[in-house]
């Protein structure tokens, strides 16, 4: 079975991890800062804070934004659970904004309407998590205007978008978001096995994120309530967590970062090739969002079901049986039982629901060969036939 995504590990990656194993520092050592600085430089951000996964990164980013009980976090329903759950971890309420039927990203005009309505009843969000779905930023320029006008914090969930660009600059540069979160899970663009990072340009946010990552502890006398007792002394000044990344993970991430350009170039090549080879089939292909250059974490197509011989599910299962490891990103988050118990229901976000009934993620990853891709296209062609007579 050709998987929908897969990591690419080379000898340099292995050597980098082995070097750490033979060093003095398995965790809390120099590899963390080296990875943070390299990511920040690569994305043109001032500060990077590495953590154990992107879910933890989203959690502490929300806390650093001041999110708490009584506040609202809004995000897209077409995302992984973590983009919404981070609000719940902080005790905040979560709501969603439907997706743009063309880009499948959060619909920023729908957001503008919802903000206007929320202002009228005093329920404006404190945080909007803007997901760069499939590796492509949403309309961040307009989002930043709205953030200014309605005074909310933009956290970009760029878990799919390491190596992507927006408005001619790297995603993560902080031009349109206060904080940007990346994931280094093995299916993502670069991997540290498990891992995540928050990038920001604001030193006070970076300092808070570092403290939250490690139990709310500080060794900085300026943050302490009394004079130091001695060289061993630290204070816990708020409730934090152990969300640290290990040096093994950071060394792997840093080594992978050296190949980021190659990874993204190969993904862009495969995506362009899919766009060409799938032309003319009863499929809606991905559309570029103005200003965004995708890192192509996912390549999603939508079935034009009317007139197809097989149902969405039959096409999905047929492709899997044929050896094509398709997947489906995403089940709308508001339809999860957990969120339904909070009051959401079928019909709340119709564009995301309609998308879910038609979407298929085709395999895309740097190690996918042209001939494997030809095989995938051939199988897709076979399974999306139109019913005879139409």
| Segment near ligand PLP (CB under 6 A); pick from 12-20, 24-32, 153-161, 222-230 | 153-161
Task: Catalogue the E-assigned strands of the chain.
Answer: 47-51, 72-75, 93-96, 127-131, 153-157, 165-166, 169-170, 179-183, 196-200, 217-218, 235-236, 283-284, 292-293, 299-303, 359-362
Task: Considering only CA atoms, give the Rg of the chain.
Answer: 22
| Alpha-carbon torsion, ordered 183, 187, 188, 189, to 10 deg | 140
Shortest reach from residue 244's CB to ligand PLP, in Å: 14
Q: Of 53, 105, 218, 249, which one interacts with ligand PLP (CB under 6 A)?
A: 53
Contacts (Cβ under 8 Å, ≥6 apart) of 266? 366
Shortest reach from residue 160's CB to ligand PLP, in Å: 6
| Segment near ligand PLP (CB under 6 A); pick from 16-24, 63-71, 80-88, 317-325 | 80-88
Shortest reach from residue 86's CB to ligand PLP, in Å: 9
| CA 173, chain centre distance (Å) | 15
Shortest reach from residue 177's CB to ligand PLP, in Å: 14
Residue 41 backbone phi and psi in degrees, to 5: -65, -45
Shortest reach from residue 207's CB to ligand PLP, in Å: 23
CB 150 within 8 A of CB 124: yes
According to the binding rule CB under 6 A, does residue 13 interact with ligand PLP? no
Q: Tell me the per-residue interface mask from 301 to 340 with ligand PLP, x by CB under 6 A, - otherwise.
A: ----------------------------------------
Shortest reach from residue 60's CB to ligand PLP, in Å: 12
Nearer to ligand PLP, 159 or 373 (CB): 159
Helix (H) and strand (E) counts in the chain: 13, 15
According to the binding rule CB under 6 A, does residue 163 interact with ligand PLP? no
Q: Of 5, 163, 196, 363, which one interacts with ligand PLP (CB under 6 A)?
A: 196
DSSP-assigned beta bridge partners for residue 197: 50, 182
Helix (H, G, I), strand (E, B) or coil at 50: strand
Shortest reach from residue 237's CB to ligand PLP, in Å: 26
Q: Of 47, 59, 114, 185, which one interacts with ligand PLP (CB under 6 A)?
A: 185
According to the binding rule CB under 6 A, does residue 249 interact with ligand PLP? no
Measured over all CA atoms, what is the biggest interatomic distance in the chain, rounded to whole angstroms?
85
First to last CA, the chain: 32
Q: Give the number of residues in contact with ligand PLP, rule: CB under 6 A.
A: 14
Q: Of 16, 49, 55, 301, which one interacts with ligand PLP (CB under 6 A)?
A: 55
| Segment near ligand PLP (CB under 6 A); pick from 39-47, 48-56, 234-242, 337-345 | 48-56
Specify the length of the chain in residues: 390
Shortest reach from residue 4's CB to ligand PLP, in Å: 13
| Segment near ligand PLP (CB under 6 A); pick from 77-85, 263-271, 279-287, 319-327 | 77-85
Checking DSSP bridges between strand 127-131 and strand 153-157, what pairing results, if any? parallel
Q: Of 83, 134, 200, 361, which one interacts with ligand PLP (CB under 6 A)?
A: 83
Shortest reach from residue 288's CB to ligand PLP, in Å: 19
Q: Of 7, 76, 78, 79, which one interacts with ligand PLP (CB under 6 A)?
A: 79
DSSP 8-state secondary structure symbol assigned to residue 310: S
Does the N-terminal peptide bond of residue 224 adopt cis geometry, omega within 30 degrees of 0?
A: no
| Alpha-carbon torsion, ordered 205, 208, 214, 216, to 10 deg | -160
DSSP-assigned beta bridge partners for residue 300: 361
According to the binding rule CB under 6 A, does residue 159 interact with ligand PLP? yes
According to the binding rule CB under 6 A, does residue 179 interact with ligand PLP? no
Residues 115-144 that bind ligand PLP (CB under 6 A): 131
CB 299 within 8 A of CB 286: yes
Q: Which residues are at the interface with ligand PLP (CB under 6 A)?
A: 53-55, 79-80, 82-83, 131, 157, 159-160, 183, 185, 196
């Amino acid at each position: 079975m050709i998987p929908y995504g897969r990591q690419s590990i080379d000898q340099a990656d292995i050597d980098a991890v082995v070097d750490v194993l033979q060093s003095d520092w398995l965790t809390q050592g120099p590899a963390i800062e080296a990875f943070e600085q390299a990511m920040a430089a690569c994305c043109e951000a001032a500060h990077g804070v590495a953590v154990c996964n992107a879910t933890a990164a989203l959690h502490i980013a929300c806390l650093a934004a001041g999110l708490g009980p009584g506040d609202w976090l809004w995000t897209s329903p077409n995302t992984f659970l973590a983009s919404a759950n981070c609000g719940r971890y902080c005790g905040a309420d979560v709501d969603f904004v439907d997706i743009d039927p063309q880009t499948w990203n959060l619909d920023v005009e729908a957001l503008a309407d919802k903000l206007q309505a929320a202002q009228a009843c005093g329920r404006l969000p404190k945080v909007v998590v803007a997901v760069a779905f499939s590796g492509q930023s949403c309309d961040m320029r307009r989002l930043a205007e709205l953030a200014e006008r309605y005074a909310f914090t933009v956290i970009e969930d760029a878990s799919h978008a390491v190596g992507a660009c927006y408005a001619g600059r790297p995603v993560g540069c902080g031009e349109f978001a206060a904080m940007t979160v990346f994931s280094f899970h093995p299916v993502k663009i670069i991997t540290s096995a498990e891992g995540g990072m928050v990038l920001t340009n604001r030193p006070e946010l970076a300092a808070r994120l570092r403290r939250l990552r490690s139990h709310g502890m500080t060794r900085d006398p300026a943050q302490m309530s009394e004079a130091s007792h001695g060289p061993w002394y630290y204070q816990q000044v708020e409730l934090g967590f152990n969300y640290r990344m290990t040096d093994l993970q950071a060394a792997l991430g840093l080594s992978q970062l050296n190949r980021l350009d190659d990874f993204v170039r190969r993904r862009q090549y495969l995506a362009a090739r899919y766009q060409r080879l799938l032309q003319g089939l009863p499929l809606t292909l991905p559309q570029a969002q103005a200003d965004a250059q995708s890192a192509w974490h996912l390549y999603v197509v939508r079935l034009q079901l009317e007139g197809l011989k097989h149902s969405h599910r039959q096409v999905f299962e047929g492709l899997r049986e044929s050896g094509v490891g398709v997947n489906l990103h995403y089940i709308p988050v508001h339809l999860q039982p957990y969120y339904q118990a909070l009051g959401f229901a079928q019909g709340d976000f119709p564009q995301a629901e309609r998308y879910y009934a038609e979407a298929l993620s085709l395999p895309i990853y740097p190690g996918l060969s042209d001939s494997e891709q030809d095989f995938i296209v051939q199988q897709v062609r076979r399974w999306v036939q139109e019913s005879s007579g139409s």
